[in-house]
């Protein structure tokens, strides 16, 4: 409610204090990732979310980092190369975007956090659906921070969500409508999710929608 009031600007709301940035995407109190489960990082950037996960736990079945920006992907693979052997063998990466359908997309590649899908992008990238990527795998958690393409990416993950009901950690601040459209889409695919909204910076920034299976 405070987010809605802040966005409407009708008053000057007193927003709750942000949660700790060190717990972004992997809050200690909402869930644990099973030791045999795959963690999928959509928008893996240079490994920043993997660093947060490893600060919390090293016991997970596997980690798949997806990053379309060529320069950022290089930094991601360089970071993975520095990991201890026991962790490194559980981590795989792929240079691609996630979308509702496979194909190619125009992409504005800047090697920064601002890189994203754009009709006027300076390059093209491969796009895949999570359903295709994760077929036959036991998925425990999906994180998305894909600069406004989260809704479309979730459309391409319907089968995976129904099959595995993985924990979801989805950025919900790139578009104002993400605040209601992303939770509504998640619940339409798997009604049996408990939803949580947490913010890790000022105002609306770094706002994450978590979907946790009710039986968790």
Structural domain that includes position 6: 2-213
Among 109, 103, 40, 42, CA closest to 70: 109
The predicted structure's pLDDT at residue 11: 66
Looking at the chain, list the stretches that DSSP marks H as alpha helix, in order from N- to C-terminal side.
Answer: 2-8, 48-56, 70-81, 85-88, 130-133, 150-155, 158-164, 178-189
Burial of 215 (0-12, 13-18, 19+ CB in 10 A): exposed
157-174 mean pLDDT: 96
59-82 mean pLDDT: 94
The predicted structure's pLDDT at residue 111: 64
The predicted structure's pLDDT at residue 33: 86
pLDDT in tens, 125-164: 899 999 999 999 999 999 999 988 999 999 999 999 999 9
CATH of the domain at 160: 3.40.50.150
Rg for the chain, CA atoms, rounded: 17
69-87 mean pLDDT: 95
The pTM of this model reads 0.92
Judged by DSSP in three states, 82 sits in coil
How many domains, the chain? Answer: 1
């Amino acid at each position: 409610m405070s987010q809605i009031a802040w966005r409407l600007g009708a008053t000057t709301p007193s927003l709750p204090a942000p949660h700790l940035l060190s717990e972004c995407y992997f809050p200690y109190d909402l869930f644990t990732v099973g030791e045999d489960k795959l963690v999928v990082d959509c928008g893996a950037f240079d490994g920043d979310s993997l660093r947060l996960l490893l600060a919390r736990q090293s016991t997970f079945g596997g980690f798949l980092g997806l990053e379309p920006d060529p320069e950022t992907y290089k930094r991601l693979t360089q970071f993975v190369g520095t990991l201890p052997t026991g962790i490194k063998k559980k981590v795989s990466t792929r240079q691609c975007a996630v979308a509702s359908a496979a194909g190619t997309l125009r992409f504005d590649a800047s090697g920064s956090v601002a890189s994203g899908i754009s009709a006027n992008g300076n390059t093209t990238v491969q796009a895949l659906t999570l359903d295709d990527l994760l077929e036959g795998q036991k998925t425990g958690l999906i994180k998305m921070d894909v600069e406004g393409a989260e809704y479309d990416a979730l459309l391409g993950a319907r089968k995976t969500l129904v099959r595995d009901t993985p924990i979801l950690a989805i950025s919900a601040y790139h578009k104002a409508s993400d605040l209601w459209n992303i939770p509504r889409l998640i619940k339409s695919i798997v009604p049996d999710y408990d939803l949580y909204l947490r913010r890790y910076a000022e105002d609306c920034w770094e706002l994450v929608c978590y979907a946790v299976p009710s039986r968790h």
